[in-house]
Amino acid sequence: MIKQFFLGSILLFTCFFCVGQNIVQLEFDGKQNITISKHIYGHFAEHLGRCIYDGFYVGESNTTVPHTRGIRNDIVQALKKLQIPNLRWPGGCFADTYHWKDGIGTKGSRPTIVNNWWGGVTEDNSFGTHDFLDMCELLGAEPYLAGNVGSGEVQELADWVQYVNFSGKGPMSDLRKLNGRQDPWNVKYWGVGNEAWGCGGNMTAEYYSDIYRKYSTFMADWDNSGGLYRIASGASGDDYHWTETLMKKIPSGLMKGVALHHYAVIDWSKKGPSIDFTEEEYFRTMKSAWFMNELVEKHSAIMDKYDPKGKIDLVVDEWGGWYEVEAGTNPGFLYQQNTMRDAMIAGMTLNIFNNNARRVKMANLAQTINVLQAVILTEEEKMLLTPTYHVMEMYKVHQDAILIPLKLTSEDFTFKDERIPAVSVSASQNTGGQIHISLVNVDPTSTKKISVDMGQIKPKAIEGRILTAKKLRDYNSFQEPEKISPKRFTAAKLNQGKIEVEIPPFSVIVLNVN
């Protein structure tokens, strides 16, 4: 009887101890071969609000902001620290109204257009193809050009490819040389239209598939000897019919990537504030961000059905948080602040992409500067780095590292009768053998205890960094630009082959395990 009571007490104590535990099991056997493509950490620069003008580009004649051929030097330095792998341009919706020949030649001779999509402002085309591609060289990033399919013509896109890529003698390469560039830029990544289901032409999936086949055919030769990585305009959110139609109707030889767009939005008609959000709005945003996991898995399953060998990639070339614009700003400029909520979106979403790296090979946060979930904000000569920037800088250790599969048992983050996982995790091993584990706790009020079973890995030392703040609604301002920044984290402990961590509410931790 005493023995039974003693054993029962142990079991009761064990179960009590398990309550509130979050368990991560790394499934590392040394045979993993899935690489987390660095291109998952791409960015997006559209002619929208102050992203290009007064963001990247201040003009060659500017005397107050240090620049190189009009490109802000501080922006270049900040983005190089992120090791951004690619940059998408010129849109977005703007791409399907953009005619690239308007943006070449002497700047005084370039025609103007009205940007009907974003604020109705006049676009003077002073930032064009040469400016963008030369800037990508400064950044050490590969350009991703979005071609005009909605209002453009097949020949226009074919000419653009030749203008930037052809090294021999021809009308487009001669024109490029006349405009001051001798050697081609050799642009690999090309979007064949953008959001064809909406601002790119309000097309059906069936109609766009035929249009795509036509445009992609004339972009290259028989064998695509130029190695173009052609990306089809993909689905909005859970439009699985769109993905299935493209996979069924477009030959794999014409398409290397299928896009997907999803924003963490509460309600498109009432998106809520970027700073003074309620508890409910926070949960709704996190739930929408977590929906990315389901979207990636279901779109990937459709792609697996038609492409079991994984020759075609899933390209999530627009993602991020979207709220109402800041008071007093142009509604068409989409300028919003960036709080710890955005750090949660970034950490969670990047973990989703990492864990689905078998199919997700490229992604682009929307957008880089002064627009939506920006990594950088500017105000005249001043510049600041947002919490989202710091998450992406912490996560750069995963770029081109080998994915370590894992199993996660997580507590729930609940609101009323709804719930999502509170903890998000991904892990990788770099070429030097170091293990990196990224941990996110989206719960705004509760610290989470996490136990990481390292399996066959025998860790000897751990160090890390943490991004958190005093308040969930904290953000970096031009008055306090470094209010939120990564700090050294030393609280992770080794215990019999396991790593034990307590992660505070609304925090991101990246561990370096040797």
> Which of the residues are catalytic?
195, 318
Strand partners, 441: 423, 507
Tell me how far apart the alpha carbons of residues 352 and 346 are, in angstroms, rounded to a whole number: 10
Tell me how far apart the alpha carbons of residues 308 and 86 are, in angstroms, rounded to a whole number: 27
DSSP secondary structure code for residue 369 in this structure: B
Rg of the chain on CA atoms, in Å: 24
Buried b or exposed e, range 241-279, using 16+ CB within 10 angstroms: ebbbbbbeebeeebbbbbbbbbbbbbeeeebbbbeebee
Tell me how far apart the alpha carbons of residues 225 and 254 are, in angstroms, rounded to a whole number: 12
Beta strands 382-385 and 406-409 are unpaired
Tell me how far apart the alpha carbons of residues 65 and 386 are, in angstroms, rounded to a whole number: 20
Beta-carbon neighbour count of residue 294 at 10 Å? 12
Helices (H), 108-239: 129-139, 154-165, 171-178, 205-219
Check: CB of residue 388 under 8 Å from CB of residue 440.
no
**Angle 335-340-342 from CA coordinates, rounded to 5°:** 50
Burial class (CB in 10 A: 0-12, 13-18, 19+), 12: exposed
Strand partners, 379: 382
